[in-house]
């Protein structure tokens, strides 16, 4: 088992997963706000995250993932696509959800309040 922690909006979501689980799938187990417009088939970059701790616990990025990351926003040395980064070893993995991924998540889930925006008033 591995522990994954997502950080966004000064909040942390945490879950334990089995080896072989990708970060995108794991985010759904605890409603961490990670986008996934293509459904996890490596066709977009909306699940883009920064792996801040435990990068060595994940599978290596393959060429297809690197090609998609070339189209992502604000790519860094620790960037990964959540749909492609699978847990390969036990330990703690911490990820920061990118602005790109947050934008996608809140666009995909309009019923969830985006804490980056003021509350909408009804009436």
Tell me the whole-structure pTM to 2 decimals.
Answer: 0.92
Per-position pLDDT tens, the chain of length 123? 999 999 999 999 999 999 999 999 999 999 999 999 999 999 999 999 999 999 999 999 999 999 999 999 999 999 999 999 999 999 999 999 999 999 999 999 999 999 998 876 655
Domain 2-108 part of CATH 3.40.190.10: no
How far apart (Å, rounded) are the C-alpha atoms in residues 61 and 68?
11
Q: How many CB atoms lie within 10 A of CB 60?
A: 11
Contact 61, 85 (CB under 8 A): yes
Q: Where are the domains of the chain?
A: 2-108
pLDDT in tens, 11-25: 999 999 999 999 999
Is the Cβ–Cβ distance between 51 and 97 less than 8 Å? no
pLDDT at 123: 53
Structure tokens at 79: 């960037």
């Amino acid at each position: 088992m591995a522990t994954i922690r997502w950080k966004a909006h000064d909040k942390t979501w945490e879950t334990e997963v089995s080896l072989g689980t990708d970060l995108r799938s794991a985010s759904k187990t605890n409603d961490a706000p990670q986008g996934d417009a293509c459904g996890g088939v490596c066709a977009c970059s909306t699940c883009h995250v920064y792996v801040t701790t435990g990068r060595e616990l994940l599978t290596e990025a393959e060429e297809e993932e690197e090609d998609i990351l070339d189209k992502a926003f604000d790519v860094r040395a620790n960037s990964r696509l959540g749909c492609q980064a699978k847990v390969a070893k036990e330990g703690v993995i911490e990820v920061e959800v990118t602005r790109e991924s947050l934008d996608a998540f809140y666009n995909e889930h309009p019923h969830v309040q985006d804490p980056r925006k003021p509350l909408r008033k009804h009436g």
